[in-house]
Amino acid sequence: RVCKIAVLSGDGIGPEISRVAVDLLKVAGDIEGVNFDFTDALIGGAAIDATGSPLPEETLQICRTSDAVLLAAIGGYKWDALPPEQRPEKGLLNLRAGLGTFANLRPAVVLSHLADASTLKREVVDGVDIMIVRELVGGIYFGQPRGFRTNEQGQKVGFNTMVYSEPEIERIAHVAFQLAQKRQKRLCSVEKSNVLEVSMLWKEVVTRIGGQYPDVELSHMYVDNAAMQIIRNPRFFDTIVTGNIFGDILSDTASMLTGSLGMLPSASTSDDGPGIFEPVHGSAPDIGGQDIANPLAMVLSAAMMCRYGLNMPQVAEHLEKAVTSALDQGYRTADLFSEGTQKVGCSEMGRVLLKC
Ligand code: NAI
Ligand code: MG
């Protein structure tokens, strides 16, 4: 089987960490009988420098005709003074819009080796394995009307609209139920239906779609309580489905259970086209080019690509096992280093992973 992968390395530590992931994918693919066909393409600051655009048409075309997009990170000091429309970050937003990726998957898994890195007590976070499914292209971030106006008292008012249609809720619910089926079969839908009409509709539609997934246990939670429970009793959660703004906040909250930004992967998927698989962290311009970045979030993003984008769970498992095995052996990049562990750089971590 041949798999076409668009590799968007971007800026800062991007090229360093994507090299590690690509090398590992090649080897894992060989073992599992998969032939990965990688095509590099420009995005972000690197694309601005080369073409003037943060997302050249050619890049979007390469992504559209690939089976999946593996993205590292974009951005850096060099482009910070540009106006918003021309900045590297715009490349990322345009890519998501161009591929119609409406579902954002953010796992928060606490690996027992790193439980001490969490800001919470070990006995609370040990064994945590949460998957947050966030609706990415609707809700209050995109709802109309929005803007500023002057009210009857002559005061300036800013306003946004939280809006979801039934089809928008249905499609994200299907993604979440199907994911829950592959996990512990427990789905918690998070909203604020005690206050918001849009959330009443959310709850009603998710409940109705749940009828098609009788094997999944569905629960409902208000977002304020969910934020509390993620900190108080995170093992309660298996899969969570929620709207755009609640998912933004809850996924950042849950990510802190795991302790390190350098360990967090993500996926953004659509119904039919290629998904985008990328670490949660940015381009870390402060450490770019020094070969000290942690490549594990990137490798785990490649694993998500294999599992959820390409339906190759064996290759995904191979990558995930390499990560836990490298940690088992005590290897740590500088961001995770503690006494008694072995400090390695980015490319050296790559060589360790290849041997695992
Ligand atoms: P950042 O995630 O790049 O860095 C935050 C801190 O974490 C830095 O001290 C950095 O050195 C460290 N860090 C991040 N990833 C690491 C890794 N893999 N290994 C070791 N240390 C790591 O966030 P920041 O500093 O707010 O943004 C820097 C640039 O990245 C900006 O231009 C921003 O716009 C962009 N950015 C891009 C994102 C993306 O491509 N999806 C997401 C977030 C920010
Ligand atoms: Mg956020």
| CATH code assigned at 321 | 3.40.718.10
pLDDT at 238 over 90: yes
Residue 111 is predicted with a pLDDT of 83
Tally of CB atoms within 10 A around 263 = 26
Instruction: Assess whether 49 carries a catalytic annotation.
Output: no
pLDDT at 118 over 80: no
Specify the range with the lowest mean pLDDT, choosing from 115-124, 232-241, 332-341.
Answer: 115-124
- Which chain residues have CB less than 5 Å from ligand 2, an ion? 248, 252
The answer, yes or no, to whether any atom of ligand 1 lies below 6 A from the CB of 284, is: yes
Residue among 96, 82, 98, 5 at smallest CA distance from 45: 82
pLDDT at 322 over 80: yes
Assigned domain for 121 exists: no
Structure token digits, residue 352: 């360790």
Residue 123 is predicted with a pLDDT of 85
Residue 32 is predicted with a pLDDT of 86
The CA-CA-CA angle for residues 88, 91, 97, to 5°, reads 150
For the chain, the average pLDDT equals 95
Rounded to whole angstroms, how far apart are CA atoms 309 and 35?
15
pLDDT at 122 over 90: no
The CA-CA-CA angle for residues 200, 205, 210, to 5°, reads 130
82 and 136 share a domain?
Answer: no
Instruction: Assess whether 30 carries a catalytic annotation.
Output: no
Assigned domain for 133 exists: yes
Residue 114 is predicted with a pLDDT of 78
**CB-CB contact of 293 with 348 (8 Å):** no
pLDDT at 117 over 90: no
Assigned domain for 168 exists: yes
- Which is catalytic among the residues 11, 67, 238, 248? 248
Residue 233 is predicted with a pLDDT of 95
Residue among 315, 346, 321, 344 at smallest CA distance from 331: 344
Assigned domain for 318 exists: yes
Residue 258 is predicted with a pLDDT of 85
- Which is catalytic among the residues 116, 224, 286, 328? 224
Q: What is the mean pLDDT of residues 232-259?
A: 94
Instruction: Assess whether 67 carries a catalytic annotation.
Output: no
pLDDT at 116 over 80: no
Q: What is the mean pLDDT of residues 206-211?
A: 98
- Which is catalytic among the residues 4, 23, 26, 141? 141
Last residue of a domain, one of 235, 256, 277: 256
> Of the ligands numbered here, which is closest to the C-alpha atom of 255?
2
> Of the ligands numbered here, which is closest to the C-alpha atom of 78?
1
Last residue of a domain, one of 207, 224, 256: 256
Phi, psi for 183 (deg, rounded to 5) = -110, -130
Look at the chain and report how many structural domains it folds into.
2
Distance 86 CA to ligand 1 centre (A): 19
Residue 259 is predicted with a pLDDT of 74
Assigned domain for 118 exists: no
pLDDT at 112 over 80: no
209 and 271 share a domain?
Answer: no
Residue among 239, 234, 226, 220 at smallest CA distance from 180: 239
152 and 187 share a domain?
Answer: yes
Instruction: Grade residue 115 by pLDDT with cuts at 50, 70 and 90.
Output: confident
Instruction: Assess whether 192 carries a catalytic annotation.
Output: yes
Residue having the nearest C-alpha atom to atom 11 of ligand 1 = 284
Assigned domain for 161 exists: yes
Range of the domain at 333: 1-103+262-356
Assigned domain for 70 exists: yes
244 and 266 share a domain?
Answer: no
Instruction: Assess whether 129 carries a catalytic annotation.
Output: no
| Pairwise pLDDT comparison (120 vs 219), residue with the higher score | 219
Residue having the nearest C-alpha atom to atom 4 of ligand 1 = 284
Could you identify the residue written with the tokens 């119904």? 271
Last residue of a domain, one of 229, 256, 283: 256
Assigned domain for 144 exists: yes
Residue among 286, 279, 297, 302 at smallest CA distance from 333: 297
CA 215 to chain centre: 26
The answer, yes or no, to whether any atom of ligand 1 lies below 6 A from the CB of 18, is: no
Ligand 1 atom nearest the C-alpha of 334 is: 20
Q: What is the mean pLDDT of residues 10-14?
A: 98
**CB-CB contact of 82 with 49 (8 Å):** no
Pairing of strands 156-159, 217-222: unpaired
Specify the range with the lowest mean pLDDT, choosing from 79-93, 211-225, 298-312.
Answer: 79-93
Q: Please state the three-class secondary structure of the chain as a single string.
A: CEEEEEEEEECCCHHHHHHHHHHHHHHHHHHHCCEEEEEECCCHHHHHHHHCCCCCHHHHHHHHCCCEEEEEECCCHHHCCCCHHHCHHHHHHHHHHHHCCCEEEEEEECCHHHHHHCCCCHHHHCCCEEEEEEECCCHHHCCCCCEEEECCCCCEEEECCCCCCHHHHHHHHHHHHHHHHHCCCEEEEEECCCCCHHHHHHHHHHHHHHCCCCCCEEEEEEHHHHHHHHHHCHHHCCEEEECHHHHHHHHHHHHCCCCCHHHCEEEEECCCCCEEEEECCCCCCCCCCCCCCCCHHHHHHHHHHHHHHCCCHHHHHHHHHHHHHHHHCCEECCCCCCCCCEECCHHHHHHHHHHC
> Of the ligands numbered here, which is closest to the C-alpha atom of 266?
1
Rounded to whole angstroms, how far apart are CA atoms 191 and 101?
21
pLDDT at 61 over 80: yes
The answer, yes or no, to whether any atom of ligand 1 lies below 6 A from the CB of 69, is: no
Instruction: Grade residue 156 by pLDDT with cuts at 50, 70 and 90.
Output: very high
84 and 164 share a domain?
Answer: no
pLDDT at 120 over 90: no
